[in-house]
Structure 1
Amino acid sequence: MLPFETFKKIVKSTPLVSIDLIARNLEGQILLGKRTNRPANGYWFVPGGRILKNECFESAFNRLIKEELGLDNVQSTFKGIYQHFYDDNFSEDDFSTHYLVLAYEITFKGDLASLPLEQHSKYKWFAEKELVESEQVHKHSKWYFQENKQADAPLNK
C-alpha cells in the first residue's frame, strides 16, 4: 500500500489501470455492489479493482476475482478497454480520477452474503434492462451494456 500523499499525487497526475468484472449468474443477471468509497460513492457498480505496480495482469486478475468474489480460476471473456473519467477522487482534495479499464465477463454462482463489504455495502442482481435504466447504477457500469459507450471524454482531452 502506498503512502496516502504519494497515492494522491499519482491519481492527480496519471491514469490508473484497472480490471472490472462483469459477473453474470446463470439467469443472465449482472452482479452490482453499492459503492462505499469515492469515486462513484453511493452508486451501484460492477466489482473490480486496480492493477498494482509490478503486478502482472494474470496475477491482478486472479487477486481481484479472489478478493472481490471469492473465486479461483474462472473462465472469462474480454469485453473491451474503457476509459472512466471522474470529477472526484478517493481523497477530499479537488482533482479528478482517470482509469483505463480492462473489462471481463465471468459467471458467478456464489452466495451474495459471502461477498466482502470493504468496497461495497451490499450486493444485488440486476437484469440488464433494469441496470441500464436505473439512475442508481453508475454510468460507467451501464456502458458495458450499451453500444459505443467506452469514454465520456475525447481521447485528446
Structure 2
Amino acid sequence: MLPIEKFLQTVDATPLVAIDLIVPNENGGYLLGHRVNKPAQGFWFVPGGRIRKNERLDDAFRRIACDELGSAAVERTDAALVGVYEHLYEDNFSGQPGISTHYVVLGYRLRRPIKLENLPNTQHTAYRWATEEEILGDSAVHLNTRAYFGEPLSR
C-alpha cells in the first residue's frame, strides 16, 4: 500500500479503477450501505472498492466482495457486468481541499441472492435493503448508485 501522501498525489493526478457490487435479495431489494468515508460520505451507496495495482480482476472481485460483504464467498462468474461508469467527486478521502476524485467503476450485479453474515462497518455505519423504485426516489441514495438503476447522471 502507498503511504497516505503518495496516495493523495495519485488521487490528484489519475483516475482510480474500482468495482461496485449490486447485491439483490430474494424480495426484490438491493443492498445499500450508509457511507462513513469520503467521497460520498453520508450517502447510501452500493458496496464496492478499488482495484489494486497488479491485482487481477477475478482476485479484486473476490477480495472486494469479501471485504464489503463479510464472509460471503463470491466469484466474478457469479455476477454480470452492468456497465462501466465514471464517478466524479469534488472531494477526496482525506478532505484535502482542491483535490477531486475520479473513479472508473465496473458495476457488477450479482446473479442471485447470497447469504450475508457479519457485514463490516469500516465503510458503512448501517445497511438497508431498498427496491429499485425506492433507490431512484431517494435523494439520500447517491446519484452514482442511482445510475446503476437507470437514473441518468447529470453533467
Q: Secondary structure at the match of 2:106?
A: strand
2:123 partner letter: Q
Alignment of 1:6-155 (within 5 A): 6-69=6-69, 70-74=71-75, 75-94=78-97, 95-106=99-110, 107-111=112-116, 114-146=118-150, 149=152, 152-153=154-155
Deviation, 1:84, is: 0.4
Q: Is the CA contact (8 Å cut-off) linking 1:87 and 1:97 kept in structure 2?
A: yes
Q: Is the CA contact (8 Å cut-off) linking 1:85 and 1:152 kept in structure 2?
A: no
Deviation, 1:117, is: 0.2
Q: Is the CA contact (8 Å cut-off) linking 2:66 and 2:74 kept in structure 1?
A: no
Q: Secondary structure at the match of 1:24?
A: coil
Whole-Å separation in 1 of the counterparts to 2:59 and 2:132: 29
Q: Note the alpha carbon deviations across 1:93-136, whole angstroms, 9 max, x for none.
A: 12110000000001333346x10000000100001111111011
2:114 partner letter: K
Q: Secondary structure at the match of 1:135?
A: coil
Q: Is the CA contact (8 Å cut-off) linking 1:84 and 1:152 kept in structure 2?
A: no
Q: Secondary structure at the match of 1:33?
A: strand
Q: Is the CA contact (8 Å cut-off) linking 1:38 and 1:88 kept in structure 2?
A: yes
Q: Secondary structure at the match of 2:108?
A: strand
Q: Secondary structure at the match of 1:52?
A: coil
Q: Note the alpha carbon deviations across 1:4-48, whole angstroms, 9 max, x for none.
A: 000000000000000000000011211000000000000000000
1:38 partner letter: K
Residue ranges of structure 1 left out of the alignment (5+ in a row): none
Deviation, 1:73, is: 3.5
Percent identity at matched positions?
A: 45
Q: Is the CA contact (8 Å cut-off) linking 2:18 and 2:50 kept in structure 1?
A: yes
Q: Is the CA contact (8 Å cut-off) linking 1:31 and 1:46 kept in structure 2?
A: yes
Deviation, 1:152, is: 4.6
Whole-Å separation in 1 of the counterparts to 2:49 and 2:150: 21
Aligned residues: 150
